[in-house]
A and B are shown apart, each in its own frame.
Chain A
Amino acid sequence: MAMANNKKVGVILASAVVLAVMPFLVGGALGNSWVRILDFSLLYVMLALGLNMVVGFAGLLDLGFIAFYAVGAYTYGLLCSPHFGLHLPFYIAIPIGAALAAFFGILLGTPVLRLKGDYLAIVTLGFGEIIRIFINNLNAPVNITNGPQGINLIDPIEVGGFSLGKTFELFGLSFSNVYLYYYMFLALTVGVVIMAWRLQHSRIGRAWVALREDDIAAAAMGINIRNIKLLAFALGALSGGVAGGLFSAFQGFISPESFSLIESIMILAMIVLGGMGNIPGVILGAVMLTVAPEILRATIGPLQMAVFGKTLIDPENARMLLFGLAMVVMMLVRPEGAWPSKRRRMEFQDAKKGVTHG
């Protein structure tokens, strides 16, 4: 027990050190644009963990998750920009965005309580699109969202009068804003990880697994199916809303384009590829799917030039082709994901052996 604890502390300390120096290693070796990609991968980790609560824990297939990201992003954007002339501090705007996203989670959850599987997926997909289309069109008769033009000049996050949006000087070196945001995102990501982990290993988490495995038996064991489903939707949406607010502050500009269906699908793909229901797997999936396309973007052009002497396929197309191919191969070779939970791995092993549920 003491050994296991020591090992655990060691792993945590080592990861903390690696995570703390990561942006400087990456930034020093590859430049600031890669630190920016790191920042984005943290945002996607938050999103993927949020969706994982709904899909991975409770087993409710949600294809419109990006809507909650949009709600969080637009709440921050509207409350902290010249658009309405409001400039609320982030520690008020982000919680409001998160709460509003959770409210929308319940709003989505309520009509779909009786739906499962494919039907649920279709309705949530529609919901995601409705939110995006609403945002796109809420510029007339009263201009709320500024429509397709989006919202510009959104305030960066300010901590104690110090803006994270500016370049800062340290020991005679200047660091771009992406470094400060990295630590901000990291702190909140750790918060979301702890939240997801503790929920999973609690009475609530058990009820979600029970719901996923057999909803009738879960009801017959006294679980209030309606409340436990709505809780999953609300808490998942909450994480999405936080990530949305951060995204808004980080980018300084948001428009409905950022919240299209493909984003929802990417987040779902992160969960599935990483290992549905398993928190480390989901984190791995989110980082992989954020970083891999960028690596391909950076390497495909030069690679073609080196091999063929000219660009045969447009790098942007080739990138998505390879990315798609990698996903197909992954699903064929490891359908349970890169880092599945023990429970899920066994499900897949049983499925392969043709064992049916008892």
Chain B
Amino acid sequence: MAETLLKIEGIVKRFGGLVALNNVGLTINKGEIYGLIGPNGAGKTTLFNVLTGLYMPNEGSFTFAGKDLFRAKPHVVVGTGIARTFQNIRLFAEMTALENVMVGRHIRSKAGALGAVLRTKRTREEEQAIEAKAWELLEYVGISSVADERARNLSYGHQRRLEIARALATEPTLLALDEPAAGMNPRETADLKDLMAKIRNDGVTILLIEHDVKLMMGLCDRIAVLDYGKKIAEGVPEVVRNDPKVIEAYLGVAHE
């Protein structure tokens, strides 16, 4: 049995009268790529926001690496080791690529206002380490050539990679990617797939939302399917693919 990294049970998230997540539970094991699929409006991004602290769930339980993160603040969640990217890219548009990644180091560095004002030796050394780490991550995702470009001027594919580098800068044990391949051409998608495999091989567990079913089936170790805020299936891709409930809800009834 693989080691459990993240476990949620009975998560309920309501927006007024709308139940966006209805009693959702899932477990993510250490080292796997875990896929989350479902039709539009099924609650995938809502679940993502709950898992990264941006939304407070109404009910349920949420533990990660042995720590209780139920209704924890985003910075606590990040500190515990969950980092994310956004479906509609949310970079700091006017900062350079390098600065964006450096912001990601915030939670793993300490210098306070006093240290900054006095510019102590420790602050200077930390600042150098932050910059070095940021360069390293830009190289890791393959965009160090555009380090000094402002984020908004980067190409779409580079922006996606920069978001991943920024998330990796927080040293996550779980990297949550919200539709990273959206809007990419097949070539870019293939490159992205390689990048995700590389990240997983380096010991980071990945939670992935994606519409590209082919990509998901080839990449994920396990997949959960959401529909109308409920989990309707979970398991290895082959089983999920053949689950009649999934076919009906997500893939539609086959006509061929």
Contacts and interface: CB of A to CB of B under 8 A. Distances in A.
B103 A357 contact: no
Nearest to B150: A346
Interface string A340-358: 0001001100100001011
Contact of B78 (A213, A222, A358): A222
Contacts of A216: 54, 90
Given A204-B113, A213-B94, A220 B78 contact: yes
Contact of A220 (B84, B113, B169): B84
| Interface core residue of A195, A213, A220 (most chain B CB under 10 Å) | A220
B107 A209 contact: no
Interface string B49-81: 000111000000000000000000111001100
Contacts of B123: 202
B230 interface: no
Contact of B127 (A202, A210, A224, A357): A202
A76 B251 CA distance: 73
* Interface size, B (range): 35 or more
A221 B78 contact: yes
Contact of B94 (A203, A206, A218, A346): A346
A222 B170 CA distance: 8
B107 A222 contact: yes
A217 B84 CA distance: 9
| Interface core residue of B83, B94, B99 (most chain A CB under 10 Å) | B94
A222 B95 contact: no
B112 A204 contact: yes
B51 to A, nearest CB: 11
Interface string B225-245: 000000000000000000000
Contact of A195 (B107, B117, B150, B170): B117
A222 B53 CA distance: 10
A149 to B, nearest CB: 38
Interface string A190-209: 00001100110011111101
A235 interface: yes
Given A220-B84, A358-B93, A358-B159, A202 B116 contact: yes
Interface string B87-128: 001111111000100111111010111011101000100110
B166 interface: yes
Nearest to A227: B75
B75 A223 contact: yes
A219 interface: yes
A202 B111 contact: yes
A302 B54 CA distance: 63
Nearest to A205: B116
Interface of B: 52-54, 73-75, 78-79, 83-84, 86, 89-95, 99, 102-107, 109, 111-113, 115-117, 119, 123, 126-127, 130, 150-152, 159, 166-167, 169-170
Interface of A: 194-195, 198-199, 202-207, 209-210, 213-214, 216-225, 231, 235, 343, 346-347, 350, 355, 357-358
24 contacts: A202-B123, A203-B111, A203-B116, A203-B130, A204-B111, A209-B94, A210-B92, A210-B103, A213-B93, A218-B92, A219-B53, A219-B73, A220-B78, A220-B90, A221-B167, A222-B74, A222-B83, A223-B75, A224-B75, A343-B94, A343-B95, A343-B150, A346-B150, A355-B152
3 smallest CB-CB distances across A and B, nearest first, come from A222-B107, A222-B78, A202-B116
